[in-house]
Chain A
Amino acid sequence: MKPSGPIDTFQPIADRPAPVQTVGPVAWMRENLFSGIGNSLVTLGIIAFLVYYIPPILDWAFFSANWSGTTEDACVKDGACWVFINAWSYQFFYGTYPLEEVWRINLMLVLLLIVIAMSFTLPKHYRMKASIAAWLALPLVGMAILYGGWGGLEVVSTDLWGGFTLNVFMAAASIIVAFPFSFLWALGRRSQMPFIRSVSVIFIEFFRGVPVLSLFFMGSVMLPLFFAEGTNVDKLIRVWLVLIFFMSGYMAEVFRGGFAAVPSGQYEAADSVGLSYWQKILLIILPQVIKISMPNILATFVMLFKNTTFLLIIGIPEVVQTLQTALANSYWLGGHALEGYLFVFLVFWASCFGMSVLSRRIERTLNTDKRD
Chain B
Amino acid sequence: MAKKALFTATTLATALVASATTVQAATLDDVKARGTLTCGVSTGLAGFSEKDANGNWSGLDVDVCRAVAAAVLGGADKVQYKPLTAKERFTALASGEIDMLSRNTTWTHTRDTSLGINFAGTNYYDGASFMIMKDLGVSSATELDGANACIQAGTSTELAIADYFRENGMSYKAVTFDTSDQTRQGFESGRCDFLTSDGSQLAALRIGLANPGNAIILPEVISKEPLGPVVRQGDDQWFNIVKWSLNAMIEAEEQGVTSMNAGDMMKNGNPANKRLLGAEGELGANLGLDAEWAYRIVTQVGNYAESFERNVGMGSPLKLERGLNASWRDGGILYAPAMR
Residues of A within 8 A of B (CB): 87-88, 90-91, 95-96, 137, 140, 143-144, 147, 149-150, 157-160, 217, 220-221, 224-225, 227, 229-235, 237, 313-315, 317, 321, 324-331, 333-335, 337
Question: How far apart are the CA atoms of A229 and B116 in the complex, in Å?
Answer: 14
Extra contacts, 19 of them, besides A159-B81, A328-B46 (Cβ < 8 A), are: A87-B53, A91-B53, A96-B55, A149-B15, A159-B80, A220-B88, A224-B92, A224-B94, A225-B95, A229-B24, A230-B23, A237-B17, A315-B88, A325-B44, A327-B44, A329-B50, A329-B51, A335-B185, A337-B185
> Are B87 and A328 closer than 8 Å at their CB atoms?
no
> Are B45 and A328 closer than 8 Å at their CB atoms?
yes
> Are A328 and B52 closer than 8 Å at their CB atoms?
no
**B9 in complex: contacting residue of A144, A321, A337, CB < 8 Å:** A144
In B144-182, the 8 Å CB interface with A consists of 178-181
Interface presence of B91 (CB below 8 A) = yes
Rounded to whole Å, the gap between the CB of A301 and the closest CB of chain B is 23
Interface presence of B96 (CB below 8 A) = yes
Contacts of A234 in B (CB 8 A): 16-17, 19, 97
Contacts of A91 in B (CB 8 A): 51, 53, 55
Interface presence of B207 (CB below 8 A) = yes
Q: A230-B22, A313-B85 are in contact. Are A328 and B181 (CB under 8 A)?
A: yes
> Are A147 and B16 closer than 8 Å at their CB atoms?
yes
Contacts of B8 in A (CB 8 A): 140, 144, 150
Rounded to whole Å, the gap between the CB of A51 and the closest CB of chain B is 28
Question: How far apart are the CA atoms of A328 and B183 in the complex, in Å?
Answer: 11
> Are A333 and B97 closer than 8 Å at their CB atoms?
no
> Are A315 and B43 closer than 8 Å at their CB atoms?
yes
Interface presence of B5 (CB below 8 A) = yes
Quick one: CB contact mask for B1-40 with A, threshold 8 Å, 1 for yes? 0000100110110011111111110000000000000000
Contacts of A334 in B (CB 8 A): 208
> Are B317 and A333 closer than 8 Å at their CB atoms?
yes
Contacts of B22 in A (CB 8 A): 230
Q: A221-B91, A329-B46, A334-B208 are in contact. Are A231 and B21 (CB under 8 A)?
A: yes
Between A and B, 29 residue pairs with Cβ closer than 8 Å are A87-B53, A88-B53, A140-B9, A149-B15, A159-B83, A217-B87, A220-B91, A221-B91, A224-B97, A231-B21, A233-B17, A235-B82, A314-B85, A314-B87, A315-B85, A327-B181, A328-B44, A328-B179, A329-B44, A329-B52, A329-B53, A330-B47, A330-B50, A330-B207, A333-B46, A334-B208, A335-B208, A335-B210, A337-B185
Contacts of B316 in A (CB 8 A): 330
Interface presence of B215 (CB below 8 A) = no
**A96 in complex: contacting residue of B9, B46, B51, B87, CB < 8 Å:** B51
Question: How far apart are the CA atoms of A335 and B18 in the complex, in Å?
Answer: 41
Question: How far apart are the CA atoms of A110 and B207 in the complex, in Å?
Answer: 43
Question: How far apart are the CA atoms of A325 and B49 in the complex, in Å?
Answer: 10
| Interface residues in B, total, Cβ within 8 A | 52
In B79-108, the 8 Å CB interface with A consists of 80-85, 87-88, 91-92, 94-97
Interface presence of B131 (CB below 8 A) = no
Contacts of A224 in B (CB 8 A): 91-92, 94-95, 97
> Are B5 and A140 closer than 8 Å at their CB atoms?
yes
Question: How far apart are the CA atoms of A237 and B19 in the complex, in Å?
Answer: 12
Smallest CB gap from B80: residue in A: A157
Smallest CB gap from B15: residue in A: A149
Interface presence of B262 (CB below 8 A) = no
Rounded to whole Å, the gap between the CB of A71 and the closest CB of chain B is 9
Contacts of B334 in A (CB 8 A): none
> Are A333 and B204 closer than 8 Å at their CB atoms?
yes
Question: How far apart are the CA atoms of A314 and B5 in the complex, in Å?
Answer: 33
Contacts of A225 in B (CB 8 A): 91, 95
Smallest CB gap from B59: residue in A: A330
> Are A231 and B317 closer than 8 Å at their CB atoms?
no
> Are B21 and A232 closer than 8 Å at their CB atoms?
yes
Rounded to whole Å, the gap between the CB of B243 and the closest CB of chain A is 24
Question: How far apart are the CA atoms of A225 and B178 in the complex, in Å?
Answer: 25
> Are B97 and A235 closer than 8 Å at their CB atoms?
yes
Contacts of A315 in B (CB 8 A): 43, 83-85, 88
Smallest CB gap from A143: residue in B: B12
Contacts of A140 in B (CB 8 A): 5, 8-9, 12
Rounded to whole Å, the gap between the CB of B230 and the closest CB of chain A is 16
Contacts of A335 in B (CB 8 A): 184-185, 208, 210
Contacts of A147 in B (CB 8 A): 12, 15-16
Question: How far apart are the CA atoms of A91 and B51 in the complex, in Å?
Answer: 10
Rounded to whole Å, the gap between the CB of B287 and the closest CB of chain A is 24
> Are B21 and A159 closer than 8 Å at their CB atoms?
no
Question: How far apart are the CA atoms of A337 and B177 in the complex, in Å?
Answer: 15
In B241-283, the 8 Å CB interface with A consists of none
**A232 in complex: contacting residue of B52, B85, B97, CB < 8 Å:** B97
Smallest CB gap from A334: residue in B: B208
Question: How far apart are the CA atoms of A221 and B55 in the complex, in Å?
Answer: 26
Rounded to whole Å, the gap between the CB of B81 and the closest CB of chain A is 7
Question: How far apart are the CA atoms of A221 and B207 in the complex, in Å?
Answer: 33
Rounded to whole Å, the gap between the CB of B85 and the closest CB of chain A is 4
Contacts of A327 in B (CB 8 A): 44, 179, 181
Question: How far apart are the CA atoms of A234 and B92 in the complex, in Å?
Answer: 10
Rounded to whole Å, the gap between the CB of B146 and the closest CB of chain A is 29
Contacts of A331 in B (CB 8 A): 52, 317
Q: A144-B9, A221-B87, A315-B85 are in contact. Are A232 and B96 (CB under 8 A)?
A: yes
Question: How far apart are the CA atoms of A27 and B110 in the complex, in Å?
Answer: 77
Question: How far apart are the CA atoms of A326 and B55 in the complex, in Å?
Answer: 10
Rounded to whole Å, the gap between the CB of A307 and the closest CB of chain B is 17
Smallest CB gap from A98: residue in B: B55
